[in-house]
Amino acid sequence: MRLILGKGTVNHIKSILGPTRKCYTTSSANTVFVEDLNFVPPTDSATSDDIQRLQDFVHASKRLLVITGAGLSTESGLPDYRSVKSPPQAGKDRPVIGPVMYQDFVKNTHVRRGNWARNYVGWPGFSSHRPNVSHRALVQWERRGKLHWLVTQNVDDLHRKAGSKKMTELHGSAFRAACLSCKHVVPRSELQQVISDMNPHWDAVPFEIRPDADVALTPEQIEGFRAPHCGKCGGPLKPDMVYFGECVPRDTVQLVFDKLEESDSVLVAGSSLHVYSAYRFVSAAHKQNKPVAILNIGPTRADKLAGLKINSRCGEVLTKLEI
């Protein structure tokens, strides 16, 4: 959230922020960026030594490749799948809702209908989230020639909203939908009214928000919902993001490997690298003797491959680096 205020108001805003809100000001002290930390796990602040070592790492790099994950966007108020503070998948009076598997979505019309019902309910809130200080910092790195390429595992469009241009959306984007039959792509924003017109008498209040525009609904709430279809061929539509059990397109993987080859070092920000789709690039960088640094809350799959690991929030650390 970005607020332009007078100095007196800035001090007032700082004084009333709750424990899950963080406030940053610009150098002119008249602009306040408010970060929502509700889904950010508790962690210690980075030490001055940590920040200096990362500063030296970034300074030494001339063609830096940055890989980002959900931990970068939790500071914009979005939950992730693996954080200890993510919404629970089950509990008293809550439906059991986990990530949708690709094969289930493709083969099962009931799974598709439920997925689209939850996506329809979750879309207004999900699409309204704004970039945080980390997204904006990486845009400045790109504009100043420090960042050679950005690879994001996130499907929330926040890097693009912030202004990033040199980037690959490794897992696609929730802001598009694609036909499983003819591959026609449509902006997700256009579908919201289409779905609303298809379901004039259907409505549901979610139990909780889930990652990637998903929410928790009971089977009873989903009853009567009609899923959208392709406007060109009538085939089933799917959010244009890589589902669990689905492979990243080969041309996307090759593009990232090409960008890694052009780069001289890799920084991972906000990712546990639990899934192989992103881990393989860090593994390849290590085999190529390229320096690797990781900034993430909690352990990652590639900790043993990194010359530097900082256990802290991205927003706290990246805003302190000078480029």
pLDDT value at position 37?
Answer: 82
- Under the phi-then-psi rule, with left for phi > 0, alpha for psi from -120 to 50, and beta for the rest, what region is 64? beta
Instruction: Report which secondary-structure segment, H or E, holds 143.
Output: helix 133-143
Q: What is the pLDDT of residue 36?
A: 72
The residues that bridge with 172 in the sheet, in sequence order, are 241
Q: Are 78 and 278 in contact (CB under 8 A)?
A: no
171 carries an active-site annotation:
yes
pLDDT interval class at 20 (50, 70, 90)? very low
For residues 30-37, give the mean pLDDT.
52
The answer to whether residue 288 scores a pLDDT higher than 80 is yes
> What is the pLDDT, as a whole number, of residue 19?
43
Instruction: Give the tens place of pLDDT for each residue, 162-180.
Output: 999 999 999 999 999 999 9
Separation CA 235–CA 248 (nearest Å): 22
Residue carrying structure tokens 């950005």: 150
pLDDT at site 208: 85
- And the tokens for 149? 């390429």
Residues 43-67: tens digit of each pLDDT = 999 999 999 999 999 999 999 999 9
Q: Is the pLDDT of residue 96 over 60?
A: no
Residue of 135, 148, 159, 171 marked active site: 171
